Amino acid sequence: LHLEAAPEKEIERFFSWFDRSDIKNLFVAGDIGDKNAFQELAGRNDNKNFFVIPGEKDGADYPQTPIEFTQKNITSLSNPALVEVNGIKILITHSASPALLKKRHMGKPTSVLSEDYMALEEVPDIVHFGHSHIPQIINYKSVTMVNSGSLLSDFKPVIIDFSSRDAKFAKVE
């Protein structure tokens, strides 16, 4: 999202569209930028759920611990994090590629850990990632990998129907 640097007009356009939509869950793959602005935006609609992980703009360590939020409809997770929503396993990570699925590993940590928390023990149904700012939908074997881009450049939110697992770019109006 890069709320600290993205044009306010684009931020408002997206969140107004999201508030009006019947979409219940928003997944944010890091680089929130302005934590307080994000809490305000999430607080506009208590009927929406926000799943958020940190990116490098939100802290330098990898893996990263969750960002602290007070807004009740924000679920703050570590980077990376695996969540299950409606029976769908969603891996949210700031940076990803199909190589991580091939290797079943999330990459090299920046700190020494007593255990390898980066190994993928379960294959997710969906991988949601950011970092590159390049919108894309990739299908690798039975996994759908999505990136919505960034409000700083090319932003194309991805809508995934959890009943069919169909993924498409949204038209934000």
DSSP codes joined into one string, 68-92: P---TTEEE--BSEEEEETTEEEEE
| pTM assigned to the model | 0.89
Q: How does pLDDT run across 80-134, given as a tens digit for each residue?
A: 899 999 899 999 998 877 777 777 667 666 766 677 667 778 889 999 998 888 9
Of 150, 170, 161, 154, the residue nearest 29 (C-alpha): 150
pLDDT tens figures, 155-169: 999 999 998 889 999
